[in-house]
Structure 1
Amino acid sequence: MFRMSRAFWLILPGLLLTALVIGLPILILIWTAFHEVSRFGVLLSFNGFANFADVFADPLFYAALLRTIVWTAAVVLGTLLLSLPVALILNEDFAGRGFARLLILLPWSVSLTMTAVVWRWALNGQSGLFNHLLLQLGIIDTPIEWLGTAPLAFMVQIAIAILVSIPFTVTLLLGGLSSIAGDVYEAGAVDGATGWKSFRHITLPLLKPFVNIAIVLNVIYIFNSFPIIWVLTQGGPADGTDILVTYLYKLAFKFGQLGKASVVSLMMFAVLLVFTVVYAALQMRREET
């Protein structure tokens, strides 16, 4: 009992600091959401749920919410499906494996904003590198405006988000694969578990905790991802690629509606909190059964 009490007092300062860093901004956000706010962030008057009503009456909010769900699900799923085979290959022992790992992980060190700027130049409809290569190869006859229409631009942004998310996810999965002892595979081989059976009954179950971590972290990261969409299209054309985070940015810094922006921010926080808690609870329940 004494040891537990002493341990608690030792971690108490860290807990208080964490509560202050996380809790105080949330309290300020809640307080702001119930007030009319000037463009300069000055609280003018208490207006109850008026900001909430304005947000729920805005059709752009629902479009951005639906697009955010599609964006998050597509990027996270696509990232996992591509990262797993890459991690499996990089986990094998072959000549040049260290260099291959470096090539895969190197993009992780590059600023996401700078990456998006390069992609915007490459996807330019008239002078972009991507169109130039496709024209030279004879794949297309005329340049394509990759960012000119909302549906095509949104698919391109999803593809770019998947590519830039692969290094981080591969790193997580490689950590999981390296923790699996070779004796497990040897024992499985004795029982006839080779190839696909070995992957299905040994690798996947032992890798599951790392997959769960990758899913949760990627959902949080992608759900709030701002640079790719903003740099490429700023949510356009005609707000057709807006997700909640870019919709929030426009409310706050383009239209000066900080009260409504606070409401959207609170809802984003609530969605991520509910997802994390529910997903963790479901995974714990599965492990118990």
Structure 2
Amino acid sequence: MTPARKPWLLIAPSLALALFIISYPVFHMAYQSLHEISRFGVVRGFAGLGNFTGVFVDPVFHATLLRTLIWTLAVVGGSLLISMPLALILNQDFHGRSLARTIIMLPWAVSLTMTAIVWRWAFNDEFGMVNLSLQALGMIDKPVQWLASAALAFPAEILVGIMVSMPFTVTLLLGGLSSVPQDIYEAARMEGATAWQQFRLLTVPSLRPFINMAVVLNVIYVFNSFPIIWVMTQGGPSNSTHILVTYLYELGFRLGRPGQAAAISLIMLAILLAFTWLYVRMQPKEEAA
């Protein structure tokens, strides 16, 4: 046996187990998507691409797909934009830094479902914290029905999504900042570089691997995020806040169409694989430029 093959032999058992764990649900979903299945899981017959056709002709699916892209871009982009200055501040040496870092990380320790329940109460139009605070500040005259309005419910959920994504992103960026040598900043200051030039020419290039990791992991996490949307509005009002993961749940468990739900699962998998492949392919070009 050649030396190059020995590492593969050592990891073969765990690799085979991982492939089985990952591939079995995918093959099961593919099987369900190609068959007509009752709400009780009974296979009635081969449907071919009928489930995919039913999904693509559904106008709710098209609106949900667009909304999912908006949800993912807004939450991932917003959390990254807010987390970057927070990470820079928390990386500085000041009194109470450990306490500030703990406060930033605390939401990460709370269940996402419990966080969504708290924010659903906060946005309640009668006794919610948001309305009471805005009325006390004189910003609104009467309570606003945040989660009952199609124009307000989805932006409110995006804000909650950004807040729950910030602890992970800040932690990742703090890890990157701690690995940046301080000598380069001292040399830049001696050369007369401004704070903005140091951030643009030193900090951002040094953090690029960590930013890339934050983008990829957050996209996968946010794209499949179920609790926030479902707990706060369950896709309502009038399907105006559904994203793909909540819509497939409703199709499979409420409307009794598990075949179409399986088809949407495969579509989501294809979208994530395509995004990851494109993003990884773009990175060498950016680094070379």
Give the TM-score taking structure 1 as reference length.
Answer: 0.97
More displaced 10-residue stretch of structure 1: 188-197 or 34-43? 188-197
Paired position in structure 1 for 2:32: 32
**TM-aligned CA deviation for residue 43 of structure 1:** 1.8
| CA deviation vs aligned residue, 1:232-269 (integer Å, no higher than 9, x gap) | 11000011111111110000000110000000000000
The reply to whether residue 134 of structure 1 matches residue 134 of structure 2 is yes
CA distance in 1, matches of 2:154, 2:194: 41
More displaced 10-residue stretch of structure 1: 208-217 or 38-47? 38-47
**TM-aligned CA deviation for residue 130 of structure 1:** 1.5
Paired position in structure 1 for 2:176: 176
Paired position in structure 1 for 2:189: 189
The reply to whether residue 240 of structure 1 matches residue 240 of structure 2 is yes
Equivalent position amino acid for 2:105 in 1: L
Equivalent position amino acid for 1:182 in 2: Q
Alignment root-mean-square deviation, CA: 1.1
| CA deviation vs aligned residue, 1:132-180 (integer Å, no higher than 9, x gap) | 1222222211111011111210000001100111000000000000000
2:45 is paired with a residue whose SS is: strand
Equivalent position amino acid for 1:268 in 2: M
2:36 is paired with a residue whose SS is: strand
1:45 is paired with a residue whose SS is: strand
Give matches, 1:126-275, under 5 Å.
126-275=126-275
1:125 is paired with a residue whose SS is: coil
Structure 1 residue runs of 4 or more that deviate by more than 4 Å after TM superposition:
none
More displaced 10-residue stretch of structure 1: 81-90 or 16-25? 16-25
Paired position in structure 1 for 2:97: 97
CA distance in 2, matches of 1:13, 1:277: 26
| CA deviation vs aligned residue, 1:44-75 (integer Å, no higher than 9, x gap) | 21111111111111000001000001111111
Paired position in structure 2 for 1:18: 18
2:133 is paired with a residue whose SS is: helix
Paired position in structure 1 for 2:88: 88
Paired position in structure 2 for 1:8: 8
CA distance in 2, matches of 1:217, 1:117: 24
Aligned-pair identity (%): 55
1:44 is paired with a residue whose SS is: strand
1:273 is paired with a residue whose SS is: helix
**TM-aligned CA deviation for residue 24 of structure 1:** 1.3
CA distance in 1, matches of 2:248, 2:20: 24
Give matches, 1:101-112, under 5 Å.
101-112=101-112
CA distance in 2, matches of 1:103, 1:248: 35
**TM-aligned CA deviation for residue 288 of structure 1:** 3.5
Equivalent position amino acid for 1:234 in 2: Q
1:206 is paired with a residue whose SS is: helix
Equivalent position amino acid for 1:111 in 2: S
**TM-aligned CA deviation for residue 191 of structure 1:** 2.7
The reply to whether residue 61 of structure 1 matches residue 72 of structure 2 is no
Give the TM-score taking structure 2 as reference length.
Answer: 0.97
| CA deviation vs aligned residue, 1:78-122 (integer Å, no higher than 9, x gap) | 111100000000000111111100000111000010001011111
CA distance in 2, matches of 1:41, 1:186: 65
CA distance in 1, matches of 2:20, 2:278: 25
CA distance in 2, matches of 1:278, 1:73: 16
Equivalent position amino acid for 1:137 in 2: L
CA distance in 1, matches of 2:276, 2:72: 14
CA distance in 1, matches of 2:14, 2:42: 32
More displaced 10-residue stretch of structure 1: 105-114 or 33-42? 33-42
Contiguous gaps of at least 5 residues in structure 2: none
More displaced 10-residue stretch of structure 1: 204-213 or 181-190? 181-190
**TM-aligned CA deviation for residue 225 of structure 1:** 0.6
Figure out how many residues of one structure are paired with residues of the other and give that number: 289
Equivalent position amino acid for 2:87 in 1: A
